[in-house]
Structure 1
Amino acid sequence: MIDIRKSSEQFKALCSHRPKICIELGSGQQAVINHATEFLGSDYQDISFSELKFPAAGQISGHKDIIRVWPEVAIICGRRHAYEGCDINDVAKPVRVFGLNGCQTFILLSASGSVVERIKPGTIVAIKDDYYEGDSPLRIPFREDLLEDEFIDPNPTYDPELSTLISETIAPRVIGKQLEQVRLGVIINRRSYEKPAEVLKAQMLRCSVVGISIPPQAEALIGLPRKLGIKIVGLSAVTNSHCQAHNGSNKCTATHQGVKNAADHITKHQLAPLVVATIKELLEQKVQI
Structure 2
Amino acid sequence: MGAGAARVAADYIRQRVGPAAPAPVCGIVLGSGLGGLADRLVDAVRIPFSHVPGFPTATVAGHAGQLLVGTLADRPVVALAGRFHMYEGHEAALAAFPVRVLHALGAPVYIASNAAGGVRRTFSAGDLMLIADHMNLMFRNPLIGSTEPGDERFPDMSDPYDRDLRARMRAAAQVVGVPLHEGVYCGLLGPTYETPSEVRMLERMGVDAVGMSTVPEVIVARALGMRAVAVSCITNKAAGLSAEKLSHAEVMEAGKAVAGHFEALITEFVRQLPAAS
Same fold at TM > 0.5: yes
* 1:7 corresponding residue in structure 2: 9
Given that residues 115 and 255 in structure 2 are in contact (C-alpha distance below 8 angstroms), is that contact kept between their aligned partners in structure 1? yes
How far has the Cα of 1:79 moved from its partner? 0.6
CA distance in 2, matches of 1:261, 1:54: 31
Kept in 1, the 8 Å contact 2:185–2:209? The answer is: yes
Q: Matched residues in 2 for 1:69 and 1:4: separation?
A: 16
For residue 159 of structure 2, the aligned residue among 152, 156, 161 is: 156
Q: Give 1:257's match in structure 2, choosing from 249, 252, 255.
A: 249
**Paired positions, count:** 267
Letter in 2 for 1:235: V
Deviation at 1:48, TM superposition (A): 2.0
Q: Which residue does the alignment assign to 1:213?
A: 213
Contact 1:125 1:236 (C-alpha < 8 Å) held by counterparts: yes
Measured in 1, the distance between the counterparts of 2:48 and 2:11 equals 15
- CA deviations over 1:177-233 (Å, ceiling 9, x no partner): 3x22200012x3121110112102211220111111111110111111x3xxx2111
SS in 2 for 1:261: helix
Aligned-partner residue type, residue 216 of structure 2: P
* CA-CA distance at 1:6 after TM superposition: 2.3
**Post-superposition CA distance 1:4-55 (Å, at most 9, x none):** 3322332333333231211100001121112x22xxx22x311222222243
Q: Distance in 2 between matches of 1:131 and 1:109?
A: 16
TM-score, structure 1 normalization? 0.86
- Does the 8 A contact of 1:125 with 1:181 survive in 2? yes
In structure 1, the partner of 2:67 is 67
Residue in structure 2 matched with residue 87 of structure 1 by the alignment: 91
User: Would the alpha carbon gap of residues 288 and 14 (structure 1) be closer, same or farther in structure 2, given more than 3 Å must change?
Assistant: closer
Give the match for residue 280 of structure 1: 271
Per the normalisation by structure 2, the TM-score is 0.89
Deviation of the 1:70 alpha carbon: 1.8
Q: Deviations over 1:100-136 (max 9, x none)?
A: 2210111100011111212221110100100012211
1: CA distance, partners of 2:214 / 2:89:
18
Counterparts of 1:152 and 1:165 in 2: how far apart (Å)? 24
User: Match for residue 204 of structure 2?
Assistant: 204
Give the Cα separation in 2 of the matches to 1:255 and 1:203: 21
- In structure 2, relative to structure 1, the CA distance for the partners of 1:160 and 1:57 (3 Å cut) is farther
The answer on whether the counterparts of 2:50 and 2:57 sit within 8 Å (CA) in structure 1 is no
Shift of 1:287: 6.7
- In structure 1, the residue matched to 2:45 is 45
Aligned counterpart for 1:108 among listed residues 108, 112, 115: 112
Distance 2:245 2:265 in 1: 28
Residues 1:288 and 1:9: Cα distance change in structure 2 (over 3 Å): closer
Cα distance in 2 between the residues matched to 1:92 and 1:176: 29
Gaps of 5+ in 1: none
Aligned pairs (5 A) from 1:151-190 = 151-167=154-170, 169-177=171-179, 179-186=180-187, 188-190=188-190
Determine whether 1:127 maps to 2:122: no
Query: What is the CA distance between 1:272 and its match in structure 2?
Result: 0.8
Whichever residue aligns with residue 239 of structure 1, its letter is T
Letter of the structure 1 residue corresponding to residue 100 of structure 2: R
1:240 has 2:231 as partner: no
For the residue of structure 2 that corresponds to 1:107, the secondary structure is strand
CA contact (8 A) 2:118 2:236 kept: yes
Structure 1 CA distance, aligned partners of 2:189 and 2:244?
18
